[in-house]
Every structure is written in C-alpha cells, then in structure tokens.
Amino acid sequence: MPRSGSMMLSFPPFAGMIRKIILATIAVFFALTLLRWIAPAVAVSIFAAGALTPVMVLHGAVWQVVTYSFLSGGIFQIAFDMLSLWFIGSYLENIYGTRWVAELYFISVVGAALTAIAVSYTHVFHMSPYATTYGAAGGIFGLLAAFGVLMGDQSFMLFPLPISIRAKYLVIIYMLIALASVMQGPSGFMSLAYLGGALFGYIYVKQAPRRGYAFAMSERAYGLRNGFYRWKRRRAARKFQVYMRKHDRDVKFDGQGRYLDPDDKKDPNDRRWMN
C-alpha cells in the first residue's frame, strides 16, 4: 500500500464483513421504521432496549454495548454512517483481511460504549449515565483511527472539491470536531462514544498481532493441539520400545516419536522424508 500520492475518493467493492454489517444495520433500520407504523409503542421499547444507556448497562443490559451500533436516528444518520463505513471499512478489509477488520470494528464499538459509560459516571462536562447514544460512528471512528495510523500519508482528492488532504490530517479534523462537541456538555454524549471508539481503534492497531487476535489465538490453539499429539506419539513410542525389548528386539524412534528403520540409510535429520 503506497504511503503517499493522491487518490480519488471512490468506493471499494461492496463485499466481505463490511457488507454484512451494513446490510444488517439497514435491515434493522427499515424493520424499526415499519414497526413504528404498525406498533409505535413496541418500536420505541425495542429501540430503547437496544440503544446504549449507561445506567441500563450497569443494571444488566450488557447487550447494549454492541446493539447500539446497529441503530440509527434517521435516514441522514444511517446514510452518512453506512457510506463512511463502506469506504473506510472496505478499503481496510481489502488490505488487511476480513477477520482483522471485524475485530477492529467490534472492539472499537465495544470500546466506545465502555468509554461512554465510564466517563458518564464521572459527570465530566455534565455527562449523565442516563444519556442515550446509538449509531455505528463508534466503530467507524475506530476504523478512522486505524486508517490514520496505517495510511496517514495517503492523500485524497475530495471530489467534487479540488482539495487534496492527507488521511492523518482528515482524521485529526474529525477528532477535533468530536472533541469540541463533547465539551458542549450533555449534548455531546454521542461524540464521547466516537472518541472512545477512536481510542480503542488506535490501541488495537498498535497492540494487536499483524493478522488479529483471533488468528493468533487459533494458531496458538493449533500449536497446543499439535504439541499434545506429538507428546502422545512420543509416549506411545516409548511404550512400544519397552514392549519390544521384552521380546528381545530393539527398535528406535527419533525425538518426535517417528520410527527409524535400521535398514534405511536415509538421514534421520532430513525432514523432507518425515511425516
């Protein structure tokens, strides 16, 4: 991926995990919109149960730290959020893979929620744990932070304006706008979550393995499993040696428990012939 040079602001392919998140969010939006026509009270109750309200989370509604990201307040919010998610998320997914982007997005979503909950109880900037937030911007800001760190020197031509700007400066502008909104008081509760998402996105990029935590854990799990199987093979080989010695026969195995044929002149250290 080039670190510099100009690039037109165009949308990448609509595929992968980002497509699934976008389609799920749009489906929830239209389902709740339809439900408002049929049963307004039920729609309001479902929205309240899914949106992030710190006091409700601390009283057991822990699902809200994820479900709030699938809710939208109106057509303009969902349109802006989904277009941003499509461009930034798919761009990163094409380079770093589906698993990596999925981890980054949902860690940012949860991190945004936890940040908002924690700060709301400090009452800084008159924040209240009874405030409510919703929308995918927490995860999007995490993607933005990752984009700024990984491709900060990439320049974009902001169509239709003849303006070229580097990604890291564009990300900084977004962060400053969100910070200014937070300082406005309780009305900035949503922006507080955005900044939390950016913080966790930044931490993920700096601390996570190159291919993500899930891949690293699966590799470690496979390593433990294979180590267990090798131990079992060595153990079986030792038992077999003891058994054969009782019958006046001597058999040999290598350090991995593989049988060494005494009539075979192959080098036992040549791993090309080993299983």
At 145 the pLDDT is 94
At 167 the pLDDT is 82
Ramachandran sector of residue 148 (left: φ over 0; alpha: ψ -120 to 50; beta: rest): alpha
What is d(CA 148, CA 172) in angstroms, rounded to the nearest whole number? 8
Q: Mention the CATH class of domain 6-208.
A: mainly alpha
Q: What are phi and psi of 63, to 5 degrees?
A: -65, -20
Name the residue type at position 4.
S
Q: Check: CB of residue 209 under 8 Å from CB of residue 215.
A: yes
What is d(CA 23, CA 213) in angstroms, rounded to the nearest whole number? 25
Q: What is the pLDDT of residues 232-248, one digit of tens each?
A: 777 777 777 777 777 77
At 8 the pLDDT is 47
Q: What are phi and psi of 264, to 5 degrees?
A: -90, 125
Write down the domain spans for the chain. Answer: 6-208, 228-273
- Full-model pTM: 0.76
Q: Token pair 């700007």 is at which residue?
A: 165
Q: Tokens for 155?
A: 């320049």
What is d(CA 268, CA 252) in angstroms, rounded to the nearest whole number? 11
Ordered per-residue pLDDT tens for the chain, 275 residues:
444 444 444 567 888 999 999 999 999 999 999 999 999 999 999 999 999 999 999 999 999 999 999 999 899 999 999 998 998 899 899 989 899 999 999 999 999 999 999 999 998 888 899 999 999 999 999 999 999 999 888 776 555 556 777 888 888 888 999 999 888 877 788 899 999 999 999 999 988 776 666 655 665 666 667 767 777 777 777 777 777 777 777 777 677 667 666 666 555 565 554 54
Report the alpha-carbon angle 161-198-15, nearest 5.
65
